[in-house]
Amino acid sequence: MLIKDRLKEFVRYLQLTNQYFEAECGLSNGYIANIRKGIGLMAMEKILEKHPELNKTWLLTGKGEMINESLKNEENSNRQKLYEYEKMYLDVIKSQSEQLKNYQKQTENLLNIIEELQKRLQPSYTALENIKLPEKEVE
């Protein structure tokens, strides 16, 4: 397996497209597809800076594991935390959505009450408009 193939395998492991991975690491568009014999030092530094979990020895030689074991546990822990935060976030959104629905129902009820009161008071308004007040005498 060539370096190019191992890098593609790592990108698949991350569940990214080559284009996204290249952009994320600051590599040129099509960099992975154009790898022939190896990757340059600058590209290697950019990739490892963005993905320190990648085992450099594995990438260059194919020996060892793809993911540094010490960072794999940290990565799993981070993914678990991310999952928990996403779940909390979704719970908050669900709660706020339900609260918003309740506010909308309350607003509808209040508007109906206002409309009903306007209907009940309309005859009184009409009667008041028809009452003529005595004019004040000018002294």
pTM exceeds 0.85, yes or no: no
Secondary structure (H, E, C), 83-131: HHHHHHHHHHHHHHHHHHHHHHHHHHHHHHHHHHHHHHHHHHHHHHHHC
Buried b (16+ CB within 10 A) or exposed e, 20-58: ebbeebebeeebbeebeeebeeebbebbeeebebbbeeb
Q: What does the alpha-carbon distance between residue 28 and residue 23 come to, in Å, rounded to a whole number?
A: 7
pLDDT for res 128: 81
pLDDT for res 130: 81
Residues of the chain with pLDDT under 70: 71-76, 138-139
